[in-house]
Amino acid sequence: MNAAIIGQMAISGALMGLVYALIAYGFQLTYATSKSINFGQGELVMVSAFFSLTLTNLGLSQHWGLGLSYGLMVPGGLIFGAIMGLVVERAGVRLALEQKSEGWILLSIILGLFFFSAAENIWGRDDRPFPTPIPEEPFHVLGLAIGPREVAVAVGVLGIMGLIELLKRKTLLGKAFEAVSADRDAAELMGISATRTVMLSYGLSGSVAALAGILVSPITTVGPTMASAIILKAFSVAVVAGLDSGFGVVLVGMFLGALESLASFYLGSGWREAPGLVLLILALALRPTGVFGKATIRKV
C-alpha cells in the first residue's frame, strides 16, 4: 500500500515537474543564442495564460463549444507568447546586449513587473478557473490513478520540445541556430543574421512559456501570481540541469516534481518548496555548470 502511494505521488508530481522543465527549456533557448535569459519569464507565462483565458471565453461567448474554443485558443496563445517574447527581446535584452552590458537582467525584470501591473489592471487580482475540455476524472493504470490533465501536460511539454529539437537538428534554420550558439561571429560570416536568430530564440521561448501557462492553468487556476512559485523552480531545474541540455531539464524537472510531491505528502504541504531550494543550493555548491552541462569557462 505504501509503495503504491509513493508511486502515485511520484508520478503525478513528475508529470507536473514537466512544466518546470518546459520553462527551463525556454531559458536554454535564449541562453544558447545570446547568453541571456528573460528574468520576467514567469510574468510571460502569466499574461499568456490570461490572454488564452480571454480567447477561450471569447469562443464560448460565440457558442462555439468548449472543445473548439480551446482548440482555437492554443495556437492563438502560442502566437501571443511569441510576440511577447519578441517584445522582451526588442524592448529590453537587445538594448543591453548592443552595449555588451549585463543590463538585460534588470531590463527583463522591469518588463516583467510592467506585465504584472498590466495584467492586474486588465484582468484583475483574482484567481480564476481555466475551462478545459480535458476531463479531471483520473483513469487507472496498474493500480495508479492518473489525471488526464496531467497527461495533457506531459504530451504538450514533450510534444513542443520534440518539435523544436527536430527543427534544430533537421532544418538548415535549426543548424544556423546551433551555429550562432557555437560561434556568433563565425555564423555572421556565413550570412546568418545573429540578430534575427536571437529574435527567433526569444519568440520560441515566449511560445514555450505560453504553452506552460496554458497547460498548467486548468490545474492551478489563473491569477497574477500564478507563476511566481513555478518560475523559481524552473530556475532551479535550469541551474541543476545546466543551460545546454534539453534532455537534462526533462529528467531534473520530473525528479524535482516527484520530490516535491513526496515532501508535501510526508512532511506536510509547507515543505513543498524545500526540495527545489535544496537542489538549487547543492547544485550551485557542487557543480555550477549543471549535472548535464558541459564545463565552460566564461571569458571576462
Partner 1 sequence: MLLVEDLHAGYGASEVLTGTTLAVKPGTVVALIGANGAGKTTTMRAISGGIHPTKGRVVLDGKEVQGLDASAIARLGLAHSPEGRKVFGPLSVEDNLLLGAYSRLPRFLGYRAKASADLDRVYDLFPKLRERSGQAAGTLSGGEQQMLAIGRALMARPKVMLLDEPSMGLAPVIVQEVFRTISRLKAEGITLLLVEQFAKSALEVADYAYVMERGRIAVEGTPAELSRNERVIAAYLG
Residue number, 173 or 277, with CB nearest to partner 1 = 173
Cβ neighbours for 297, distance < 8 A, ≥ 6 positions apart: none
CB 94 to partner 1: min, Å: 14
Nearest to 82 by CA among 134, 112, 47: 47
- CA dist 58 and 136 (Å) reads 23
CB 168 to partner 1: min, Å: 11
CB 167 to partner 1: min, Å: 9
Residues between 135 and 164 that touch partner 1 (CB under 8 A): none
Q: What is the per-residue binding string for partner 1 in 2-31, x denoting contact by CB under 8 A?
A: ------------------------------
Is 300 one of the binding residues for partner 1 (CB under 8 A)?
no
Residue number, 188 or 273, with CB nearest to partner 1 = 188
Burial of 71 by CB count in 10 Å (0-12 exposed, 13-18 middle, 19+ buried)? middle
Residue number, 125 or 170, with CB nearest to partner 1 = 170
CB 179 to partner 1: min, Å: 5
Q: What is the per-residue binding string for partner 1 in 40-79, x denoting contact by CB under 8 A?
A: ----------------------------------------
Residue number, 167 or 229, with CB nearest to partner 1 = 167
CB 236 to partner 1: min, Å: 26
CB 97 to partner 1: min, Å: 14
Residues between 174 and 233 that touch partner 1 (CB under 8 A): 175-176, 178-179, 182-183, 185-195
Residue number, 27 or 177, with CB nearest to partner 1 = 177
- CA dist 195 and 199 (Å) reads 6
* 123-132 core/surface letters (b: 16 or more CB in 10 A; e: else): beeeebebbb
Residue number, 128 or 184, with CB nearest to partner 1 = 184
Residue number, 125 or 169, with CB nearest to partner 1 = 169
CB 89 to partner 1: min, Å: 17
Residues between 161 and 180 that touch partner 1 (CB under 8 A): 170-173, 175-176, 178-179
In the chain, alpha helices (H): 2-34, 41-61, 66-88, 94-98, 104-123, 148-170, 172-182, 184-189, 194-220, 228-241, 246-266, 274-286
- CA dist 222 and 276 (Å) reads 22
Residue number, 195 or 228, with CB nearest to partner 1 = 195
Strand 139-141 and strand 144-146: the pairing is antiparallel
Cβ neighbours for 206, distance < 8 A, ≥ 6 positions apart: 26, 44, 48, 81, 82, 83, 84, 85, 86, 88
Q: Please tell me the number of Cα atoms within 13 Å of 30 on its side-chain side.
A: 31
Dig out the grid coordinates for 191 from the structure.
Answer: 550570412
CB 177 to partner 1: min, Å: 11
**What residue ranges bind partner 1 (CB under 8 A)?**
170-173, 175-176, 178-179, 182-183, 185-195
